[in-house]
Amino acid sequence: MIEAAPAKVNLFLHVIGKRDDGLHLLDSLVVFAGIGDSLALAPGAGLLVVGPEAAGLAAEPDNLVLRATRALAEAAGRPPGPGLTLTKRLPVASGIGGGSADAAAALRLLARAWGVAVPPGLAARLGADVTACLISQPLRFGGIGEAIAPAPALPEFGLLLCNPRIPLGTAAVFSARAPGFSAPAPLPAAWADATAMARDLGAATRNDLQAAAIGLCPPIAGVLAALGALPGCLLARMSGSGATCFGLFPTPAMARAGAGLLPDGWWSWGGGLHPGVRAG
């Protein structure tokens, strides 16, 4: 049994308020890319991390996969989970929710293996992004990430993800944000094509963490400039708390071609959206 853990991309991210406990109220349109980590059942016990980005987790004392496994085992009255192999392809701490996607993949995989449902609210307790990653299809979220609503009907488009290979902690970026809040974004029910979608996203939405992230990690500005200069790029913006940025293109093929034109030394991937995961 293998479960995909697709990368989460925030097409916009508005910070619209702050709760008494310090967590921020958000409004975000999220899509899931055709690249991600993957998680497989393995013989024995424990978690083995392999793949091109595994080194980023070498010092991680409590992988989110193990936290998710323990939480579901406890809720389902099961002994601690089976052996798992995580193939890590997404850079760690990079604003595309790799850890959250891995936790969500663990919940889906084990719920299926054990024939149980993921209890409501369990994903949200593991992290603000885990509820969205459990669904892993285009959606809009509110609250601190747990309030899920439908996305507008999306046209075909391509996504190019690029990261300057500098990890950026989410809490640090929220703390560095300038004071003030945005309004929720006005969105249509549907976009006819990628050009209309990019035009509306560019005009009426933003990533409210982008300026703070650039302040902490100036190379992000170079990534945005490089993406924006690629042939066919309709919009270049940062995802989540960074440092990964995305370029929006008319087609997945154009995004793939753009990836080949970026400087060596940056992590990049181009293509389309993930076709969708099976619910638990």
Ligand X SMILES: Nc1ncnc2c1ncn2[C@@H]1O[C@H](COP(=O)(O)OP(=O)(O)O)[C@@H](O)[C@H]1O
- For the question of residue 8 being annotated catalytic, the response is yes
Residues between 222 and 241 that touch ligand X (CB under 6 A): 240-241
- Assess 145 for contact with ligand SUD (CB under 6 A): yes
Interface stretch with ligand X, choices 28-36, 38-46, 93-101, 265-273 (CB under 6 A)? 93-101
- Applying CB under 6 A, which of residues 34, 36, 98, 250 lies at the interface with ligand X? 98
Do 95 and 242 contact (CB within 8 A), yes or no? yes
x-or-dash pattern for ligand X, window 183-222, by CB under 6 A?
Answer: ----------------------------------------
Q: How many helices, marked H, and strands, marked E, lie in the chain?
A: 9, 10
**Which residues have a Cβ under 8 Å from the Cβ of 110 and sit 6 or more positions away?**
68, 69, 72, 73, 81, 82
- Assess 92 for contact with ligand SUD (CB under 6 A): no
Q: Residue holding tokens 């209309």?
A: 196
**Which residues have a Cβ under 8 Å from the Cβ of 23 and sit 6 or more positions away?**
128, 144
Q: How many angstroms separate the Cα of 70 from the Cα of each of 62, 123, 150, 181, 218?
A: 11, 12, 30, 36, 38
Q: Which of 8, 88, 200, 208 is catalytic?
A: 8
Q: How many angstroms separate the Cα of 162 from the Cα of each of 42, 130, 141?
A: 31, 22, 23
Interface stretch with ligand SUD, choices 67-75, 92-100, 192-200, 229-237 (CB under 6 A)? 92-100
- Assess 170 for contact with ligand SUD (CB under 6 A): yes
Site size toward ligand X (CB under 6 A) is 18
Round the CA-based radius of gyration of the chain to a whole number and report it. Answer: 18
Site size toward ligand SUD (CB under 6 A) is 19
Distance of alpha carbon 37 from the chain centroid? 11
- Applying CB under 6 A, which of residues 16, 17, 23, 206 lies at the interface with ligand SUD? 23
Interface stretch with ligand X, choices 75-83, 98-106, 136-144, 190-198 (CB under 6 A)? 98-106
Smallest distance from ligand X to CB 53, Å: 8
- For the question of residue 88 being annotated catalytic, the response is no
Which amino acid, 201? Answer: L
Sheet holding 235-238, edge to edge: 235-238, 245-249, 158-163, 267-271
Task: Tell me how far apart the alpha carbons of residues 149 and 138 are, in angstroms, rounded to a whole number.
Answer: 10
Nearer Cβ to ligand SUD (62/264) = 62
User: Is 249 strand, coil or helix?
Assistant: strand
97 is annotated as contributing to ligand binding: yes
Contacted entry of ligand X, ligand SUD, none for residue 174, CB cut-off 5 to 8 Å set by kind = ligand SUD
Nearer Cβ to ligand SUD (36/97) = 97
Residues 53, 58, 59, 65, CA torsion sign = positive
Task: Tell me how far apart the alpha carbons of residues 25 and 19 are, in angstroms, rounded to a whole number.
Answer: 7
Q: Which of 27, 37, 102, 129 is catalytic?
A: 129
- Which residues are known to be catalytic? 8, 129
Residues at the interface with ligand SUD (CB under 6 A):
10, 13, 23-24, 26, 28, 95, 97, 100, 127-129, 144-145, 170-171, 174, 240-241
Interface with ligand X (CB under 6 A): 57, 60, 63-65, 92-100, 102, 170, 240-241
- Binding site, residues? 91-101
